[in-house]
Structure 1
């Protein structure tokens, strides 16, 4: 199996205090439930299992350091509503409402964890902007507003002058602001989930899975230095599901890169008008995601690629910094580029052709969840909790709602899938050039 290794440059992770790694798994072990993947999904599943079945023995494996993969490498948007699912038909509107309610449940799941453990993750319920600098996208945003109105979702359309004052940049000409979203520090949230794992959960880091085989007695899992026999296995690896041989005909991993600036000086911040924290998602596919954090840093993510390697070298990242710098200069021409960007990193997300998620019982002993299509903080937390519940034979309103959602549709096999994705990304990249 693939041993994924992320580059060590993520700004969110670098913000965290140093901690000792949990031990690599060695020798022979057995457990009631083995969880593979220690991101939001796996950590939430472990927490839920320990709560509902305290008598169970639980082992969690991660191929690198827990919580420091995609869970700490996203943009920190805990979203409720999404732009790309807007529909005009009644049937489409119903489906949109289903996903919106599921997103709300994800927000509630994260909020419950944050409140229970008094987690400091820079939680800010400031909402988010879906914005454009292109006149051609204004109709898309107007249609999105109509969809939100029909769903009775609170929002507002913001024109260019008000947007410029709110964001500190005149780059955008129109936006839809939705009020239910949360801006947070993804690294702090993921670290808190590691720190608050129940004592009954054994976490092993830097322990990739080499192979596994289901037998009548259980599932035998081999790692480089150890062996586990588990009664059940929960696969919670999101973007690395395909690396484990799962959902290969339904999902596809994408590599994203982002940069985070140093904190702006008093003079630089005053030049932007001292705006409050905000987050912008582009109305154009492949357009830039941009954030101004509460500590005056700017994050920009404007690349998505079918990158063959899981990790990116320093040279790979340096080549993408130029794209990030261009995006920053377009939006904030008064800021100096020299020394502005402090960290740049890559991360892997998982997509499907119809924006559907993976939530499956693969056999009596195997369960899997993932493919959050860029909305992973809330959905990953919720899906992890509900996957654990499902593995215990439990039931809930949220579990039924998840299982009623569409399945990811069929995708062509490799190498045709990779060729098609690259062609689509190239087309979108060309169209989004002014928005990057």
Structure 2
């Protein structure tokens, strides 16, 4: 299978489609030089560029983005900004490590919040907390494991019966729920475009500039696009799973596509019952369904996965519609205003693929669905590492990405595991 250098999506990003038009930065053209080139204008790439610029304000910093900002994966996520570990990261026996991770997440979230406020980025940032919910026995076991972690860590939460949860989100679909205050919701495309348009003058962003080749040139790296080249002292790969095309270890990283849709604004009766306020729900089970509302009274649903390539959108839409109607069978007829797919970099054990992979070539990949806060921290840390500054022990905190078998074994394993898990937790998807 040929590795792609950047994603190719069938549909535009729904979040981005609602934003006012912005001035797109010019594509890379001709020959140039820089102290550092960053591949990928996402949360990791922007954090790396900002950290570098603060440390060396006179350096030439270039960011190459394959599409226009907001259309890539950073604008296509669900907009959850978690201050504590994801459910599948939580192990009560590792409380000291998780406590350090949670502290770093809170610090990073505070930094992002301060930046949004200082720069006046209108991205609907709200400290809403998040619900987790389960319907089946397997989902309830996952929910109990997360509750055990929260208890052991001394973190605040509230358990909810199915009826109590229904009062919050307008559906009796779930039998058990849990509320954690440690989460913000955001309009992700508004956040990432706001960060792009607020970059310091010394950081040059080039949109519609997918890197096609990165090769060594003496002690430097030559980065090519279709229209230009940059000779750089260091290169940071911040394009997640697509970093594999430029040297990241394919045996430890793969690309997974996930799918989301947002309804048109709900009718007043349903809006009062379901979307009178902004809330978000993450599934207890890893293959479960994500839900959230928007400030203008819409309902977003995310469900479904595919391996390495985007699935047929008509079939995806049918699946999203079925999941929505199962949870809200009495909702007034409502159409999907937007539907799209997006990618995430996945590692087998959930640890990032991070660090220096060749002299002066660095990578941060494998966000495993926790991209905004985690990606921001890892990008900042990677820039500091590349600059030779003190940096946290990322391997001890997050672990190291473990080996996965190559295709076709990996592909077969993904589909078999997905089918088994989907059958076991059918009502959670």
TM-score bracket, normalised by the shorter chain, equals: over 0.9
Corresponding residue pairs, total: 424
For residue 350 of structure 1, what is the aligned residue in structure 2? 345
For residue 241 of structure 1, what is the aligned residue in structure 2? 243
Extract unaligned runs of 5+ from structure 2: none
For residue 220 of structure 1, what is the aligned residue in structure 2? 222
For residue 150 of structure 1, what is the aligned residue in structure 2? 152
For residue 14 of structure 2, what is the aligned residue in structure 1? 11
CA offset digits 1:284-318 (Å, max 9, x no partner):
22110111222211100111110435xx6xxx222
For residue 383 of structure 2, what is the aligned residue in structure 1? 388
Higher mean displacement: 122-131 or 238-247:
238-247
Structure 2 CA distance, aligned partners of 1:249 and 1:361?
A: 16
Is 1:400–2:392 an aligned residue pair? Answer: yes
Is the CA contact 2:132–2:179 (under 8 Å) kept in the aligned structure 1? yes
Q: CA shift at 1:105, angstroms? A: 3.3
Structure 1 stretches of 4+ moved >4 Å: none
Structure 1 CA distance, aligned partners of 2:275 and 2:243?
A: 43
Is the CA contact 1:42–1:384 (under 8 Å) kept in the aligned structure 2? yes
For residue 328 of structure 1, what is the aligned residue in structure 2? 324
Structure 2 CA distance, aligned partners of 1:267 and 1:275?
A: 10
For residue 303 of structure 2, what is the aligned residue in structure 1? 302
Structure 1 CA distance, aligned partners of 2:129 and 2:267?
A: 25
Is the CA contact 2:87–2:284 (under 8 Å) kept in the aligned structure 1? yes
For residue 430 of structure 1, what is the aligned residue in structure 2? 423
For residue 110 of structure 1, what is the aligned residue in structure 2? 112
For residue 279 of structure 2, what is the aligned residue in structure 1? 278
* Equivalent position to 2:91, from 66, 87, 90: 87
- C-alpha change, 1:283 and 1:34, in structure 2 (3 Å) is same
Extract unaligned runs of 5+ from structure 1: none
SS in 2 for 1:84: helix
Structure 2 CA distance, aligned partners of 1:273 and 1:205?
A: 38
For residue 231 of structure 1, what is the aligned residue in structure 2? 233
Is the CA contact 2:40–2:237 (under 8 Å) kept in the aligned structure 1? yes
SS in 1 for 2:171: coil
Q: CA shift at 1:88, angstroms? A: 4.4
SS in 2 for 1:220: strand
Q: CA shift at 1:401, angstroms? A: 4.2
Q: CA shift at 1:108, angstroms? A: 2.5
Is the CA contact 1:130–1:282 (under 8 Å) kept in the aligned structure 2? yes
- C-alpha change, 1:14 and 1:274, in structure 2 (3 Å) is closer
SS in 2 for 1:303: strand
Structure 1 CA distance, aligned partners of 2:114 and 2:374?
A: 14
RMSD: 1.8
Q: CA shift at 1:3, angstroms? A: 4.4
Structure 1 length as normaliser, TM-score? Answer: 0.92
Is the CA contact 2:11–2:339 (under 8 Å) kept in the aligned structure 1? no
Is 1:64–2:67 an aligned residue pair? Answer: yes
SS in 2 for 1:254: strand
SS in 1 for 2:300: strand
